[in-house]
Structure 1
Amino acid sequence: MITLSPEVQAAMDAKKPVVALESTIITHGMPYPQNLETARRVEEELRTAGAVPATIAVLEGRIHVGLTDEQLERLAQAKNVAKLSRADLAACLASGGTGATTVAATMIAAHRAGIDVFATGGIGGVHKGAEESFDISADLQELAQTPVTVVAAGAKAILDLPKTLEVLETLGVPVIAVGQDQLPAFWSRNSGMKAPLRIDTAKGIALAHKMRRDLDLPGGQLVTNPIPEADEIAAETLAPIIARATEDATKHGITGKAVTPYLLQRIFELTEGRSLRANIALVLNNARLAAGIAQELGRLS
């Protein structure tokens, strides 16, 4: 079911640090060619920081852990690519389909390939109005059962962040802030909520990952890494923009998996591209931290 790219296979054989990357950010998060440029930049950022990138996607019925440059370019330009989570990953494989992996599906594939660390932009969570729609991302359950450390800039700011944190707490997922006491909120450094845990070093995060494994605790860790100060968009600036985008989604009947891509695109339009620039900056920042954690895990092993 799994094909490792030559670069990832060589790294695994040599026991070099490898960091997983999702592919929905390529197919559903950014327009072409920015998506391809960003994917290449994130991969290069990992290499510069001392880790090997493993972008994960399903291509013609196989999970590919690590994509060649040709595969990356083909995926960046592909149309109608399935957005795969835990529920539909197996069905896509069985039908010989092609799909991009969400946080949940990326965690599943990374764990099966023996990769412990995954860098992304932001995780999914509890959508606003979930008390009526029950729209809650499978990412949260995945964090509770799959032992991968996920480095993100928090949950996406379009979500109901207090409810997302409550669900993570109920599921027993460690939520760790880096370098500050408050949880970040994707494009913004501060969400207004205190982080349950704070660990400021890659070594400390790696030790916590190893300790969970030694205790035989299921699930992974969510490491919330704030966007660099120079690149953030203040939460008070974003609040009315997110509210307007959410109203537009409701008015147009956008539901299910289409909600997040729609909101991200609408916010991109309303911020005149500033949200995309911030998104790129935070993903690069997360990649650097993830590389450090992967290196420290390698030393611990």
Structure 2
Amino acid sequence: MKQYLDIAPEVAQALAEGKPVVALESTIISHGMPYPQNVEMAQTVEAIIREEGAVPATIAIMDGKYKIGLSAADLERLATEKDVAKVSRRDLALILAQKKIGATTVATTMIGAHLAGIPYFVTGGIGGVHRGYEETMDVSADLEELAQTPVTVICAGAKSILDLPRTLEYLETKGIPVLGYQTDVLPAFYTSKSLYKLNSRVESVEEIAQMDKVSHELGLSAGSLVVNPIPTEHELDAAYIDEIIAQAVVEAEKAGITGKDMTPFLLGKIVELTGGESLKANIQLVYNNAKVGARIAKAYSELN
């Protein structure tokens, strides 16, 4: 397995010394945002994690290697090269074998983090059960990965383009803890609240770190999900964004967009329809998640 791992020296040293490390995905760079905002966002997220006392480890597939921690040149390459593959679990072995460049989704970032020994991962929003599930059976591989890979994911909820109540039900069925960080309800990505109540609320990063310590000591195989609301000063109006999402979904159906192409199409269309306001909100929620994720990782390292 080690022949496929390329861990950056800074990350390797931090792990060896028991210092806090936070994994970051790369699909948001290659498929989630336009250039140059994607590079600026990635660099700022890494800087925020450092400011909070942790080491960032952005993950991607490059030249037959699972790269854990990227250089500035790697980030630029991901952000600008054409035909960067969007790599989920099903694609992982093939992209590595073909030595292609690939951006990791939530699922493959979790796999890479776990292989490297990183217990925490920050992202914007996870995938989930898609709207129209009863016809398409479309469920993100992110949920299955959470059920089998013991990494804690910090996010602003599931992307609001999804079927949120079915996503929550799926998470419950798979035994995945969903912890509301200072919230009683599921955040809806662009908005801090939704109609869907959570079973568990936590007030501090120390509570989360303690739960993770117990989970790891018990040998539980599932990950956990920390849902952290977008700051209210950056959220969008719920009725407004719901209308925009409905319009984007209709356009996706007309264009015949399906499968793993659906999410990037919808997010891009929403940016267009909101005049860039959704992109601003997306960036701010990622920054907020980075702060919280780094603080949890630091609390966990102090426990251990």
Do the structures match in fold with TM over 0.5? Answer: yes
Q: What whole-Å deviation, never above 9, does each CA across 1:108-137 have from its counterpart, x for those lacking one?
A: 000000000000000000010011111100
Q: Does 1:63 align with 2:34?
A: no
* Mapping 1:101-112, distance limit 5 Å: 101-112=104-115
SS across alignment from 1:191: coil
TM-score calculated relative to the size of structure 1: 0.99
Aligned-pair RMSD on alpha carbons? Answer: 0.8
SS across alignment from 1:194: coil
Q: What whole-Å deviation, never above 9, does each CA across 1:130-149 have from its counterpart, x for those lacking one?
A: 11111100000111110000
1:78 — aligned with what? 81
Q: Does 1:208 align with 2:211?
A: yes
Q: Is 1:189–1:234's contact at 8 Å kept on the other side of the alignment? A: no
Q: Gaps (5+ residues) in structure 1?
A: none
- Amino acid aligned to 2:116: A
SS across alignment from 2:256: coil
2:197 — aligned with what? 194
- Amino acid aligned to 1:130: Y
SS across alignment from 2:159: coil
2:226 — aligned with what? 223
Q: Does 1:176 align with 2:175?
A: no
1:115 — aligned with what? 118
Q: What whole-Å deviation, never above 9, does each CA across 1:154-208 have from its counterpart, x for those lacking one?
A: 0000000000001000000001101121110101000111012111111100111
Alignment equivalent of 2:294, drawn from 275, 291, 296: 291
Alignment equivalent of 2:49, drawn from 46, 51, 56: 46
Q: Is 1:178–1:199's contact at 8 Å kept on the other side of the alignment? A: yes
Q: Is 1:55–1:67's contact at 8 Å kept on the other side of the alignment? A: yes
1:258 — aligned with what? 261
In 2, Cα distance between equivalents of 1:251 and 1:282: 30
In 1, Cα distance between equivalents of 2:266 and 2:103: 18
Runs (4 or more) in structure 1 with deviation over 3 Å come to none
* Mapping 1:135-174, distance limit 5 Å: 135-174=138-177
- Amino acid aligned to 2:236: I
- Amino acid aligned to 1:154: G
How many pairs align? 301
Alignment equivalent of 1:26, drawn from 24, 29, 49: 29
1:281 — aligned with what? 284
Q: What whole-Å deviation, never above 9, does each CA across 1:79-130 have from its counterpart, x for those lacking one?
A: 1111011111111111111100000000000000000000000000001001
In 2, Cα distance between equivalents of 1:299 and 1:265: 40
Q: Is 1:150–1:223's contact at 8 Å kept on the other side of the alignment? A: yes
